[in-house]
């Protein structure tokens, strides 16, 4: 999957973070010569060399606004990427979305088997919290426990897992725009919000800044999902590295089916502009966050 970005700053930032996250997972996951070998290989397949790394980019960028050291921020970035990866492995299972392809590579259950995919997801889920609770991520135990609280609540039944359940139920029910918005805020928004919030926690950002950053995250999260629906509607499966138009085939309501493609795109653009507005307290040091807000609506995969 080629990632073509008009924005050079963002492109360079993502490339650097992709490299750092790949290296960190490589070090964290040596392949043991025992019965766990296949498990670790499956986890490596899912975590190394795939994905845009938008969540770690957000986390690390916010952390650096407040002077957090790079290695702490990268470890916390690995934790949120571990949660994101586990959710993709489980979502791709035959009993869920039944996908064969992810980031242009075979999904874990295709390359290995379903049981390995279930366990690889579970092990990554645990690893995220092990990373956050470690002194290498922060010497301050309050920061560590706040990071765990933020990520666990974004991942559980009041966050991503809850949103995924609502999404499954939406095949059988007709949802209105309000319900779809709520669903997407849980399913994808919670984790994007956690990325930004975890950066703020690591950086001991003041409460007012944290509130503005949360608003920024909420807006780009929603814009991100609307564009996902647009790309699913009109996009290129090869570029996306995954199967498309599955929602429509399953009769699910999306932002595009409810608003139509034109109003959906307008809405995404308005949210992106609004997200940038929430960064008005920052100068050029927040340029990367502005670039992310633009990228979210301009991306073609």
Residues near its own copies (CB under 8 A): 34-36, 38-40, 43, 86-87, 90, 93, 95-96, 113-116, 118-119, 121-123, 125-130, 132-134, 141-142, 144-146, 148-149, 151-153, 155-157, 159, 161-162, 164-170, 173, 175, 179, 182-183
CB of 100 to its own copies, least distance (A): 16
In the bound state with its own copies, the residue whose beta carbon lies nearer, of 141 and 277, is 141
Give min distance, CB of 171 to its own copies, in A.
Answer: 11
3-state secondary structure of 33: coil
CB neighbours of 289 closer than 8 A, spacing ≥ 6? 58, 61, 62, 216, 279, 282
Q: CB of residue 42 vs its own copies: minimum separation in angstroms?
A: 9
Q: Per the structure block, which two tokens stand in for 129?
A: 């919290």
CB of 3 to its own copies, least distance (A): 29
Shortest distance in whole angstroms from residue 7 CB to its own copies: 34
Q: Which H helix or E strand runs over 106?
A: strand 105-106
Nearer to its own copies, 42 or 196 (CB): 42
What tokens appear for 119 in the block? 């366990």
Q: Which is nearer to its own copies, 70 or 157 (CB)?
A: 157
Distance CA(185)–CA(199), nearest Å, equals: 19
11 vs 153, beta carbon nearer its own copies: 153
Distance of CA 57 to the CA centre of its chain: 10
Q: Find, among 58, 65, 120, 59, the residue nearest to 88 by Cα.
A: 120
* Closest distance of CB 124 from its own copies, Å: 8
Phi and psi at residue 97, to the nearest 5°: -85, -15
Tokens for 93, please give them.
């299972």
Beta carbon nearer to its own copies, 18 or 116: 116
The closest of 189, 191, 192, 196 to 154, measured between CA atoms, is 191
Q: CB count, 10 Å around CB of 177? A: 12
Nearer to its own copies, 13 or 159 (CB): 159
């Amino acid at each position: 999957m080629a990632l073509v970005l008009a924005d050079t700053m963002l492109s360079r930032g993502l490339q650097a973070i992709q490299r750092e996250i790949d290296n960190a997972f490589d070090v964290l996951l040596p392949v043991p010569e025992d019965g766990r070998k296949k498990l670790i290989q499956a986890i490596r397949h899912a975590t190394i060399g795939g994905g845009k790394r938008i969540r770690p980019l957000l986390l690390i960028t916010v952390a650096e606004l407040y002077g957090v050291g790079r290695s702490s921020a990268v470890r916390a970035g690995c934790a949120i990427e571990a949660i994101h990866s586990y959710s993709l492995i489980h979502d791709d299972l035959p009993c869920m979305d039944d996908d064969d392809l992810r980031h242009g590579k075979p999904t874990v259950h295709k390359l290995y088997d379903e049981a390995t995919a279930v366990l690889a997801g579970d092990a990554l889920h645990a690893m995220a919290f092990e990373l956050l609770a470690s002194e290498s991520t922060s010497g301050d135990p309050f920061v560590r426990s706040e990071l765990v609280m933020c990520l666990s609540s974004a991942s559980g039944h009041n966050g991503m897992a809850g949103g995924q359940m609502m999404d499954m139920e939406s095949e059988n029910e007709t949802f209105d725009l309000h319900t779809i918005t709520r669903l997407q805020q849980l399913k994808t928004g919670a984790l994007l919000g956690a990325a930004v919030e975890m950066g703020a926690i690591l950086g001991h950002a003041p409460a007012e800044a944290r509130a503005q950053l949360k608003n920024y995250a909420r807006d780009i999260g929603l814009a991100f999902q609307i564009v996902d629906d647009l790309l699913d509607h009109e996009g290129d499966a090869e570029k996306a590295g995954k199967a498309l138009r599955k929602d429509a085939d399953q009769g699910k309501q999306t932002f595009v089916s409810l608003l139509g493609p034109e109003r959906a795109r307008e809405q995404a653009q308005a949210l992106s502009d609004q997200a940038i507005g929430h960064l008005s307290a920052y100068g050029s040091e927040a340029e990367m966050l502005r670039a992310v807000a633009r990228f979210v609506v301009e991306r073609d995969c």
